[in-house]
């Protein structure tokens, strides 16, 4: 029994070190920006996140609209912008998402998947601006999840049955950039979300809590359990 506990403790220790190392690597290469709590536009509250991952000159940005059952198109994500240091210019390599149409009664139908057709209209001096407006927009804005029963029950005429604004990107879009000299998320100094079909309605993002911390907590908890088991065994001897 003593040998088993020793092996268990050693294994858990190794796991914790691996988890910690993984977390440190992930923290260095990935960061999530979120809209501050209570953010809103003229159309109502907004809630969005963007996870940025850097790998040797490649930046992947996963943009998600978290605002459920929106009322107005002004709550939909229309563009993003970010700034970098020591990586002044780049190109948009790929983009993808799934599309939906929202009927006049708020019901949803699939419109397939593919490229949202957003355009990179600024990519110099470390300033990057990617937008649907003027490219595929006013369609292809990123909409949040529907309400109960999968229906956009709150949607007004700017969303429900609005021909020019349909289809919408269903909740999440992924964009990949090639940016020479970008090797760490620490080089990304700001990130901004924009909403609606009127240019300039922006909400600056704030860095969120890194997910890998969960692994460290899990590993620490498991080591703690092993320590308690060892303590109980000593008391019974």
**What would the pLDDT profile of 102-154 be if each residue is shown by its tens digit?**
999 999 999 999 999 999 999 999 999 999 999 999 999 999 999 999 999 99
Q: 0.75 exceeded by the pTM?
A: yes
In the chain, domain spans? 1-29+210-237, 36-204
- Which residue do the tokens 């990179």 mark? 120
Least confident of 1-5, 48-52, 74-78, 87-91: 1-5
DSSP string, 105-166: TS-EEEEEEE----EEEEEETTEEEEESTTTTTTS-PEE----GGG--TT--TTTTT-TTT-
Candidates 3.40.1000, 2.60.40, 2.40.420, 3.20.20; correct CATH number of 36-204? 2.60.40
* Residue 38 DSSP one-character state: T
């Amino acid at each position: 029994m003593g040998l088993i506990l020793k092996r268990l403790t050693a294994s858990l220790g190794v796991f914790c070190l691996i988890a910690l190392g993984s977390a440190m690597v992930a923290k260095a290469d990935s960061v999530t920006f979120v809209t501050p709590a209570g953010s809103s536009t003229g159309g109502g509250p907004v809630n969005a996140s963007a996870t940025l991952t850097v790998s040797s000159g490649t930046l992947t940005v996963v943009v998600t609209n978290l605002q459920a059952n929106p009322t107005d198109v002004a709550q939909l994500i229309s563009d993003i912008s970010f700034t970098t240091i020591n990586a002044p210019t780049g190109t948009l390599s790929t983009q993808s998402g799934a599309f939906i149409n929202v009927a006049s009664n708020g019901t949803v139908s699939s419109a397939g998947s593919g490229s949202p057709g957003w355009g990179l209209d600024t990519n110099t001096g470390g300033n990057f601006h990617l937008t649907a407006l003027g490219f595929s927009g006013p369609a292809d804005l990123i909409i949040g999840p529907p309400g109960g029963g999968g229906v956009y029950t709150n949607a007004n005429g700017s969303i429900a049955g609005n021909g020019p604004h349909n289809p919408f990107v269903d909740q999440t879009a992924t964009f990949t950039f090639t940016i020479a000299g970008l090797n760490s998320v620490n080089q990304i100094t700001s990130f901004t979300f924009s909403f609606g079909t009127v240019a300039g309605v922006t909400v600056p993002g704030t860095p969120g809590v890194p997910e890998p911390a969960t692994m460290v907590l899990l590993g620490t908890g498991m080591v703690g359990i092993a320590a308690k088991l060892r303590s109980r065994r000593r008391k019974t001897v």
